[in-house]
Structure 1
Amino acid sequence: MSESRRIQAERIIDAPAEAIFDVLADPRRHSEIDGSDSVRDALVSAPERLHVDSTFTMRMQVRPPNLHSASLLQVTVAIINRGRISNTVTEFDEPHAITWRNDFGRHTWRFELHPVPGSPTRTLVRETFDYSTNLLPPLLEAVGFPARNRDAMHDTLDRLAAAVGATV
């Protein structure tokens, strides 16, 4: 994995890793935690609980929230895919890590959960967007996608904390 094409964000969430993992493993809750505001809801055919090699399809925003080139690219991809993006789970190590690959662009999203030593109810959560495997990494860079994702990832972690009842 190329370090230069990997974006990370992390925060400590006041919840046990199992509770956090339960939210991440349920695609029906992904729109609730998505900090980019581009994920809508999971299609009915999505599994209630993910596992390695499972696929799930999310409805995506098809109207740009602004005219930033990254937003326009994201909406264009969603339109090409009829407002849907499919993903495949490539890692499922409950309750420590989950990774899924975007089946269109081939980039991955990974969440690592590490219990905070000495605290059974606090977890360090690290989210990684790895676009080194994307079909066109230079295009993502040209439109500013990595920087926009970094900001959205911090929002995702805040929303994940709220979803498990932690103080944001």
Structure 2
Amino acid sequence: MAAGQGDQVVSRSVVIKAPAERVFEVLANPYEHANFDGSGSVRGQLHGPTRLTLGDKFGMRMRILLPYRIENEVVEFEQDRLIAWQHTGRHRWRYRLEPVEDGTKVTESFDWGTSRSPKALELLGYPKRNARSIEQTLARLKALIEQRVA
């Protein structure tokens, strides 16, 4: 499946003072996701591998108003550079890593152009809410990794 259209992607970036390999090892371990999630909705992993690769499926415990479970699949993968997953709604969460002088530039994107119903997500305000969540997630990811590297 192709990536979504540019006007249906919200992205934010941060530089983390750590090599891309260290950042990627956290992103590719779904047991870590609740440790850096800035939305407050990810509660922990239910099943799946501890190291994700293309095509892997993993279940997560979630909560937005009420608790629920969601099944995700890794749909984009390039070792130490890119990982993206989606669930049955088909919108994607993508992390792109780029080595820079001070460490690694991490760009997180919410891509609702791949969604089964992108207009519904827009009407429900997900892009705007997810922009705030991405900013909080990246801040938490930066703190988590830099604390481990120190």
After TM superposition, the score normalised by the length of structure 1 is 0.81
The 3-state SS of whatever aligns with 1:61 is strand
Q: Choose which of 56, 78, 83 in structure 2 pairs with 1:98.
A: 83
The 3-state SS of whatever aligns with 2:15 is strand
The 3-state SS of whatever aligns with 2:135 is helix
Q: Report how far residue 154 of structure 1 moved.
A: 0.6
Say yes or no: does 1:26 pair with 2:7: no
| 4+ residue runs over 4 A deviation | none
Q: Which residue number in structure 1 is paired with residue 131 of structure 2?
A: 150
- Residues 102-155 of structure 1: CA distance to partner in whole angstroms, max 9, x if unpaired? 2x2111111010011x44xx1110011111111111111112110000000011
Q: Which residue number in structure 2 is paired with residue 87 of structure 1?
A: 72
> What number of residue pairs does the alignment pair up?
145
- Residues 61-90 of structure 1: CA distance to partner in whole angstroms, max 9, x if unpaired? 15x2xxxxxxxxxx5xxx6xxx11111011
Q: Choose which of 84, 95, 100 in structure 2 pairs with 1:111.
A: 95
The 3-state SS of whatever aligns with 2:127 is helix
Q: Choose which of 56, 59, 65 in structure 2 pairs with 1:57.
A: 59
Q: Choose which of 116, 138, 161 in structure 1 pairs with 2:142.
A: 161
Letter in 1 for 2:137: T
Contact 1:23/1:163, CA 8 A, preserved across alignment: no
Letter in 2 for 1:50: L
Q: Report how far residue 165 of structure 1 moved.
A: 2.3
Q: Percent identity?
A: 41
Letter in 2 for 1:46: G
- Residues 11-61 of structure 1: CA distance to partner in whole angstroms, max 9, x if unpaired? 111111111000000000101111110010001x22111011000010001
Q: Choose which of 8, 12, 36 in structure 2 pairs with 1:5.
A: 8
Aligned counterparts of 1:115 and 1:137: Cα–Cα separation in 2? 32
Which runs of no fewer than 5 residues in structure 2 stay unpaired?
none
Aligned counterparts of 2:55 and 2:78: Cα–Cα separation in 1? 12
- Higher strand residue share: 2
After TM superposition, the score normalised by the length of structure 2 is 0.91
Question: Over aligned residues, Cα RMSD in angstroms?
Answer: 1.5
